[in-house]
Chain A
Amino acid sequence: MHIKDHPVLGPQLQDPVTIYFNDQPYMAYKQQTVAAALIANGVKKFGLSRKLVQSRGLFCSRGRCCSCYMTVNGEDHVRTCMIRVEEGMEIYPNLEDPEVRGDGHGD
Chain B
Amino acid sequence: MFRLIFQRLLALVPLLFIVSVLTFSFTSLLPSDPVDLILGDTGTDEQHEMLRERMGLNEPIYLRYLQWLGRAVQGDLGNSFFNSVSVMDAVMQRLPVTLSLTAISALIAIVVGISAGVVAALRPRSWVDRLATLGATFGQAIPNFWFGLILVAIFAVNLRWFPATGFTPITNAPWEWLRSSILPSIALGTASSAAIARQVRSAMVGVLQQDYIRAARAQGLSARRVLFKHALTNAMVPVVAVLSFQITVLLGGALIVEQVFAINGLGTLAIAAVRQQDIPMLQGLVLVMVGLVVIVQLATDIIYGLLNPKARPT
Partners in one complex: no
- Interface set of B (CB-CB < 8 Å, partner A): none
- Interface set of A (CB-CB < 8 Å, partner B): none
